[in-house]
Amino acid sequence: MTVLKLERINLPEAHVFRGEEFPAAYDVKNDDGRHSSAEVIAYLNELGSTGFFREELKKHGAIVLRNTGTTDPEILSEYVRAIGESSGEEQFVQTGVTAKRTIITDVLSTANEGPSENTIHQHNEFSRFNKYPTTLFFVCTRYDAEGGTTPIVHGGEFFEKIDQKYPKFLTELADRGLYMRQTWANVSPNHTAWHDFFCFGRDLRPEEDLKTRQEKAAKLVREFVSEDFEWDDNNNLIVGQHSRPIRKYKVSDSESYPAFFNSIATYYADVKYSPPDSKKTSALSYDDLQPIPTEYLDEVLQQSIDLAYHHQWKEGDIAIVDNYQVSHGRDPWKGDRKLLVSMWDQKNKPEYEPWVR
């Protein structure tokens, strides 16, 4: 029987935050250099039950498992399931997405299927909603490309950098909150209409009339996103989102630090750069509807670029991200690159407490 272990490896250009490497990376190794998927699953279950993955994510924000021995989505799904379930989490129900996704297995779906030449800026997944996952898994099943790294930014470092230049902005943002307004169209060319599965259509049936479909979608909007929504004359769904964009990340019972927890960078980039006919974001302001000065928004966007660690993928990689601490994006590429995603949530989790100065 082979003996499995995780051996710490270095990632080029990894950052350091609060004295800990971000992200941390491990090679999946054993004594004879070979391991079966059943052995890996058992080992990951054993590790997870000790709290290993929870503690590593708390310390490092993100961890990478390398040389997993497979690119098969079905096997990778079992690895993800083993880590998630043994760590006391359950699958998060993706609702309200703004990009096309396709189910691959009962655990994994495609990540954003937008054109490969498009940059996706930093965002904490669903941070502007009522419900958001605690943990994200990204797995690489194919990588034969130029570019296509995944940039991630530590929310604690993000906060510290902006606070050095614009402390007044962070004080106001924390006190006043963040407002965004987005539209899920009734007709969409890229499977992001409100009635599409990963948007608000998971409970809809083809034979239902429009009123019934809207009522069922509205139930999910209220539960997952916001009570503030309306249907326009063309049956598009317009949702106002109200959030607290800086939170207190709890390191222990006696220690916490402020972390940027929002999607300002990616949706400000949408407002700033997207053609008028493709914008999903029609408002981005303080929650009292007063404008956020452009110089502040520009600084957030620039720091989201400057502070990023860009993960260079290898086939079989599993990257695990603490969504509470770490935002992510996507760099453009040419060639063949396939990443799949799985979202998980801590059971009976406490409120992610807002930070105020």
pLDDT (tens digit, 9 = 90+) per residue, 257-316? 999 999 999 999 988 887 776 667 888 999 999 999 999 999 999 999 999 999 999 999
Instruction: Give the other-Cβ count within 10 Å of 343's Cβ.
Output: 21
Q: pLDDT above 90 covers what percent of the chain?
A: 88
Architecture in CATH of 4-153+309-346: 4-Layer Sandwich (3.60)
CB 119 within 8 A of CB 160: no
Listed by start position, the domains of the chain span: 4-153+309-346, 157-302
CA–CA distances in Å: residue 202 to residues 2, 187, 221, 228: 43, 17, 12, 20
CA–CA distances in Å: residue 277 to residues 112, 257, 265, 270, 324: 19, 40, 20, 11, 32
CB 279 within 8 A of CB 356: no
Q: How far apart are CA 225 and CA 317, in angstroms?
A: 31
Architecture in CATH of 157-302: 4-Layer Sandwich (3.60)
Fold match between domain 4-153+309-346 and domain 157-302 = yes
Q: How far apart are CA 81 and CA 125, in angstroms?
A: 19
Residue 313, helix vs strand vs coil: coil
Q: How far apart are CA 11 and CA 174, in angstroms?
A: 34
Q: Quick one: pLDDT band at residue 128, thresholds 50, 70, 90? A: very high
Burial letters for 304-342: b for 16+ Cβ neighbours within 10 Å, e otherwise?
beebbbebebeebbbbbbbbbbbbbbbbebeeebbbbbb
Q: Global pTM? A: 0.95
Condensed to tens digits (0 to 9), the pLDDT of residues 200-226 reads: 999 999 999 999 999 999 999 999 999
Q: Quick one: pLDDT band at residue 90, thresholds 50, 70, 90? A: very high
Q: Which residues on adjacent β-strands are paired with residue 24? A: 63
Q: How far apart are CA 162 and CA 303, in angstroms?
A: 8
Distance of CA 55 to the CA centre of its chain: 19
Q: pLDDT above 70 covers what percent of the chain?
A: 98
